[in-house]
Amino acid sequence: LEDVTLGYDSLSQYIADSPYFGALVGRYGNRIGKARFTLEGTEYKLAVNNGPNHLHGGLKGFDKVVWQAEVLTVNSVDSPTHHGGVGLRLRYRSANMEEGYPGNLDVQVIYILTDSAELCIKYSAQTDKTTIINLTHHSYFNLTGGMKDDVLGHVLQINAGSFTPVDETLIPTGEIRSLNDSPLDFRTAKPIGRDINAIDTQMRFGQGYDHCWVLGHPNPGGELNLAATVFEPVSGRVMEVLTTEPGLQFYSGNFLDGAYTGKGGRVYNDRDGFCLETEHFPDSPNRPGFPSVVLKPGDTYRTTTVYRFSVK
């Protein structure tokens, strides 16, 4: 067994400065354009923390708050994959107008490490005032184990035929664009590094891959669907990502610039790790054509994602 995620050796490092290593991200994962949105006739202004935009819940998002934690033993009936294991239940109340978001939001996240080498994440939330929500998980993966190499040789396949193109600040234009003849097309598995330096406007904006793939699930929030598969050919490790979400943000670690010293004193450089963040689309509150991220009182937000590991 080897470590296949990037991170730090100490809690103090995570608190001081982190590019969201292993983070639970909210209230809104990914970007909201110009750090504002309008809901039921009221404009809400959020923290500007990523160029002109709002990113990952703001200055003190869900990755920087203290959660109530409870260790669980999970049987196969309660597991989304029907495999038992050990779990951790996290609870947090996000107060009305925390980071600019309306409503008192009661959030529960359950992590389950199953006996079948799966990490299952079950999210749920309720609000007392109409709000928006888009939770995600932000681990950086490197399946070589122990950071033996960068991730450009990992072979990735994504079950998506379209994506949300972005502007130069990485905010979606509102278009859903086909992946035909695009370097972002991973319908057929290929190494992450094959087209990462392609001459393409979208690749230039992202400085690599930092886009949302449209998974096209017939019933977002319903059954788990296979979103992506990653294979590391030297170790033989495989990671599959299953989700109920309609989108998948693939980020190829483009902004790991040598400024972060991680586990074991390893300096992380660009393309040393990748993220596969299951989500609703970026800037959805400002894009009426995207799947809704609105949560109303009396309704329950529910979503599930599974990272499944194996060897071939």
CA dihedral for 206, 61, 5, 149, sign (positive or negative): positive
Confidence (pLDDT) at 77: 78
Q: Which residues are catalytic?
A: 138, 277
- What is the spatial distance between Cα 28 and Cα 148, in angstroms, rounded to a whole number? 33
Confidence (pLDDT) at 8: 96
The closest of 16, 59, 18 to 260, measured between CA atoms, is 18
Confidence (pLDDT) at 18: 78
Please indicate, yes or no, whether the overall pTM of this predicted structure exceeds 0.85.
yes
Per-residue pLDDT of the chain (312 residues; tens, 9 = 90+): 899 999 999 999 998 877 999 999 999 999 999 999 999 999 999 999 999 999 999 999 999 999 999 999 999 878 899 899 999 999 999 999 999 999 999 999 999 999 999 999 999 999 999 999 999 999 999 999 999 999 999 999 999 999 999 999 999 999 999 999 999 999 999 999 999 999 999 999 999 999 999 997 756 667 899 999 999 999 999 999 999 999 999 999 999 999 999 999 999 999 999 999 999 999 999 999 999 999 999 999 999 999 999 999
Confidence (pLDDT) at 219: 62
Confidence (pLDDT) at 78: 83
The domains of the chain are located at 11-311
- What is the spatial distance between Cα 22 and Cα 133, in angstroms, rounded to a whole number? 19
- The answer as to CATH 3.30.1950.10 being correct for domain 11-311 is no
